[in-house]
């Protein structure tokens, strides 16, 4: 790959490094309409292992796409939601729903 091609696609490479993988987009899809508790996400995505769900949520939190809030109830519950920065992705998810009508 030529250096100028790499420079021109740096934003795509960065996006893929943050959102790439099998599960992150699906997790974010379920968060687009509001926060979800960990157990809800686990139920909504039955094919993902608990270990993988935790890992993917931690990575999304580290990249400041998702925030983690511990609810003060007994037993303690954790809720995940988009950060303000993460909310900038919601219009992209809305495009998935509306689809491209120009085909």
The closest alpha carbon to 80, from 24, 20, 35, belongs to: 35
Phi, psi of 77 (to 5 degrees): -125, 150
Q: How far apart are CA 51 and CA 58, in angstroms?
A: 11
| pTM across the whole model | 0.78
pLDDT tens per residue, range 16-49? 777 777 899 999 999 998 999 999 999 999 999 9
Q: What average pLDDT score do residues 43-67 get?
A: 95
Helix (H) or strand (E) holding 1: none
Q: What average pLDDT score do residues 68-74 get?
A: 90
What the chain holds in terms of domains, given with CATH numbers, is 22-98 (1.10.10.10)
Residue 52 predicted with pLDDT over 60: yes
Do residues 23 and 48 make contact, with C-beta atoms less than 8 angstroms apart?
Answer: yes
Helix (H) or strand (E) holding 42: helix 38-44
Do residues 93 and 28 make contact, with C-beta atoms less than 8 angstroms apart?
Answer: yes
């Amino acid at each position: 790959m030529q250096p100028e091609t790499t420079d021109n696609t740096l934003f795509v490479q960065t996006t893929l490094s943050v959102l790439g993988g099998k599960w992150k987009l699906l997790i974010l899809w379920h968060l687009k309409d509001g926060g979800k508790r960990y157990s809800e996400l686990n139920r909504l995505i039955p094919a993902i292992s608990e270990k993988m769900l935790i890992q993917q949520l931690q990575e999304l939190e580290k990249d400041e796409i998702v925030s983690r809030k511990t609810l003060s109830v007994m037993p303690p519950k954790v809720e995940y939601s988009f950060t303000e920065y993460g909310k900038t992705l919601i219009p992209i998810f809305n495009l998935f729903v509306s689809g491209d009508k120009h085909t």
